[in-house]
Amino acid sequence: MSSNLADLYQKVILDNGLRIITIPMPHTRSVSLAFFLAIGSRYEEATLGGISHFIEHMLFKGTEKRPTAKEVSEAIEGIGGVFNASTGREMTMYWAKVPQGHLELGLDVLGDMLLHSKFEEGELEKERRVIIEEINQTLDTPDDWVGLLITQLQWPDHPLGRDIAGTRETISAVSRENMLGYLGRHYHPRNLVVSVAGNMEQSRVQEQLAQAFGGWGTKEKVGFLPAQPNRSGPRTKVGHKETEQAHLALSLESLPRLHPDRFVLRLLNALLGEGMSSRLFLEVREKRGLAYSVHSYIEQLADSGALGIYAGVDPERLEPALQAVLGELDRLRQEGVPGAEFEKTREFVKGRLMLQMEDSLSVASWHGRQEILDDQILSVDEVLARLDAVTAQDVQKLAQNLFQTPALNLAVVGPFPAQKEERLRGLLQLP
């Protein structure tokens, strides 16, 4: 999709505060609609951990108009559409992608789920068991479990450090009354953005949404507990599991979502561990043969952020793998990035972004996610220009700022005793 087309988006705000964003893509044969709510696990009390995710599941279990989960799913799948939802730390998203001409049905189904889900006790008890099995699966899956451990180290004793799905104890205790109360506090127009992209008539979509949601009463937004800086490490945690691989997760404090250097961070992360030509892939896998899977990632929140690295390695070679990873962090601090490598990385990031914009769901998500989380929308062209403005010197300067020993956290899952933590903490050093 050309960025000129993306610039044609329209934003309408209803009297109750609900924001509607429409992006025309007349060349497509699909329409995607996404409902974004500014609610997630960081808004939860400890005793209600996982309730945002639990509610997300329950919205698929039946409404007054479509009493069963089967009827809800058949409404979308019966026209060849797809729909799903996801819960994060700061946002919950419900979405559907339907063939051209079926947008009205898609809007009706998602709106019905949002406003008229029944939360029947029988369905709630079944879904409670399903989510507990989802939690059990995470704890049984080493690369998922190490992700939970590193999150706990990154944000200790804070809602951001909890599993989005909750715990077996909190999910077992959540009641229907808890859910309806939480829904009433957080599911309201001022906390909602609806983004629609594809082959549709913008004014017609705006009319339909105004008719469906215009009478919905609104409330004030609820805040969350601020995150604290995390540079008092290094911290380590070992989860014992008799596995064939050691699962290594390293993280450090990074930048919040709207930090001025966020575009520098995007290139730094790509250079470090995105794709098969990244430094971690070439050094840890291709050169040293220490891992099959190795990559880096960034997580950016309103007031905090993390840069993480994951690798699955032979337990006997855990320490060499850790030293190789730390070596790549130090190299980014000590040495300037060669021009050709830097330009290759920049084109990689820009190219992936432009390819992403060919899909109507990605376009709806691009606009809606920015609006709900940032209260602003940058066009693709604006982001490309910001990326073009980053220099190799900017990347090295950011690496020097971020990559410091007190900011390091390391979680490992594998066939190790708890005493391994002290040994690893001693290795977790940058010069």
**Catalytic residue annotation:** 56
Secondary structure of the chain in HEC code, one letter for each residue: CCHHHHCCCEEEECCCCCEEEEEECCCCCEEEEEEEECCCHHHCCHHHCCHHHHHHHHCCCCECCCCCHHHHHHHHHCCCCEEEEEECCCCEEEEEEEECCCHHHHHHHHHHHHHHECCCHHHHHHHHHHHHHHHHHHHHCHHHHHHHHHHHHHCCCCHHHCCCCCCHHHHHHCCHHHHHHHHHHHCCHHHEEEEEEECCCHHHHHHHHHHHHCCCCCCCCCCCCCCCCCCCCCEEEEEECCCCCEEEEEEEECCCCCCCCHHHHHHHHHHHHCCCCCHHHHHHHHHCCCEEEEEEEEEECCCCEEEEEEEEECHHHHHHHHHHHHHHHHHHHHCCCCHHHHHHHHHHHHHHHHHHCCCHHHHHHHHHHHHHHHCCCCCHHHHHHHHHHCCHHHHHHHHHHHCCHHHEEEEEEECCCCCHHHHHHHHCCCC
